[in-house]
């Protein structure tokens, strides 16, 4: 195996075509230890040329203009600085919807799709068409919009403390104006949320402990918002708040679902039990890692 520290840069082609640029840029990134280099280069070039990946393959011999090369170079430099591809392209797909993303908002992950899929299963199994859902820490609005897109009769309220995130969430909602989704600035730790108002609470809180945060890949650590990733405590701070507040916020028969980090299932389950919640299920992801905790009040919610 070639040592990326000593591997030579790929030779510069004599003529820049779609294919030669893809091959050179992919090799250049690979030498520097990047993964999925060809995919990323093709997506960036497709973005510049306003072409889908399959269309690039049909135009391999197309010469690139100086303007096209300059535009690609700007994106390529950003990727060399480990900026996430989703930020560079300005959008990503999540649960069948296209969402804008950028600095200041967490990039939606497949693990969070599992949270939405679990919520959809609950909604479908309930036999109810309408529910009032609270999305805590909505970020880009991916959970609220992704869930409402799949179940349009739901009413979803997304809250976040980040103005930057809420700006992006509201921009994303403009693409899907028929959904019953609202976003507002509120801190779940202090907000005066209405008691007994919600049938379903969903949350993907900051759950990475500070020592693990320091070891994250630079794409995550150096570019995505710290406050959306770590609580700067033990990774469990927001679960304590959510478990304490859920019994009062949920209606009779209401359920809370939280995405959790690796190895946190037992701790979050204990926090739930301590606040009078019954854990109905812990859902694993495709790797078999416990990823979503589903819980409900053991006793009817408090009045008032």
pLDDT of 300 reads 60
Same domain, 119 and 165: yes
Whether 292 has a pLDDT exceeding 50, the answer reads yes
d(CA 290, CA 277): 18
In this predicted model, what pLDDT tens digit does every residue of 213-251 receive, in sequence order? 999 999 999 999 999 999 999 999 999 999 999 999 999
In this predicted model, what pLDDT tens digit does every residue of 107-161 receive, in sequence order? 999 999 999 999 999 999 998 879 999 999 999 999 999 999 999 999 999 999 9
Same domain, 250 and 158: yes
Same domain, 152 and 73: no
Whether 46 has a pLDDT exceeding 50, the answer reads yes
> Does the residue 215 lie in any domain?
yes
pLDDT of 195 reads 85
- Report the Cα 128 to chain-centroid distance in Å: 27
pLDDT band at 6; cut points 50, 70, 90: low
d(CA 92, CA 302): 40
The count of domains in the chain is 2
pLDDT of 275 reads 96
> Mean pLDDT, to the nearest integer, of 50-58?
96
- Whichever domain contains 32, its CATH number is 1.10.8
Same domain, 109 and 61: no
**DSSP secondary structure of 201-261:** EEE------HHHHTTS-HHHHTTS-GGGT--SSSS-HHHHHHHHHHHHHEEEEEEEEEE--
Same domain, 181 and 49: no
Same domain, 105 and 237: yes
Structural domain range at position 222: 96-297
pTM recorded for the entire structure? 0.91
Report the 10 Å Cβ neighbour count for 54.
9
> Mean pLDDT, to the nearest integer, of 165-186?
97
pLDDT of 80 reads 97
Same domain, 191 and 287: yes
> Mean pLDDT, to the nearest integer, of 181-192?
91
């Amino acid at each position: 195996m070639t040592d990326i520290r000593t591997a030579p840069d790929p030779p510069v082609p004599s003529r820049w075509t779609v294919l030669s640029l893809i091959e050179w840029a992919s090799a250049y990134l690979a030498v520097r230890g990047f993964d999925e280099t060809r995919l990323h280069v093709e997506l960036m070039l497709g973005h510049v040329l306003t072409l889908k990946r399959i269309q690039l393959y049909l135009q391999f011999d197309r010469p690139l203009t100086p303007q096209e090369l300059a535009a690609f170079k700007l994106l390529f430099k950003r990727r060399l600085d480990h900026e996430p591809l989703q930020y560079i392209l300005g959008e990503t797909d999540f649960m069948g919807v296209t969402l804008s993303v950028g600095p200041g908002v967490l990039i939606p992950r497949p693990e969070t799709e599992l949270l939405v899929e679990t919520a959809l299963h609950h909604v479908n199994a309930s036999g109810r068409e309408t529910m009032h859902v609270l999305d805590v820490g909505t970020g880009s609005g991916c959970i609220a919009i992704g869930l409402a897109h799949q179940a349009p009769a739901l009413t979803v309220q997304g809250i976040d403390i980040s103005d930057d995130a809420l700006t992006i969430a509201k921009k994303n909602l403009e693409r899907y104006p028929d959904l019953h989704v609202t976003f507002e600035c509120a801190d779940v730790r202090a907000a005066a949320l209405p008691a007994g108002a919600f049938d379903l609470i969903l949350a993907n809180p900051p759950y990475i402990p500070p020592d693990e945060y320091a070891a994250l890949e630079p794409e995550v650590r150096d570019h995505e918002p710290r406050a959306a990733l770590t609580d700067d405590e033990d990774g469990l701070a927001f679960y304590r708040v959510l478990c304490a507040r859920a019994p009062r916020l949920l209606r009779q028969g209401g359920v809370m679902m939280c995405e959790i980090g690796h190895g946190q299932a037992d701790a979050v389950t204990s926090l739930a039990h301590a606040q009078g919640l019954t854990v109905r299920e812990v859902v694993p992801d495709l790797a078999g890692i416990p990823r979503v905790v589903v819980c409900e009040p053991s006793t009817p919610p408090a009045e008032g």
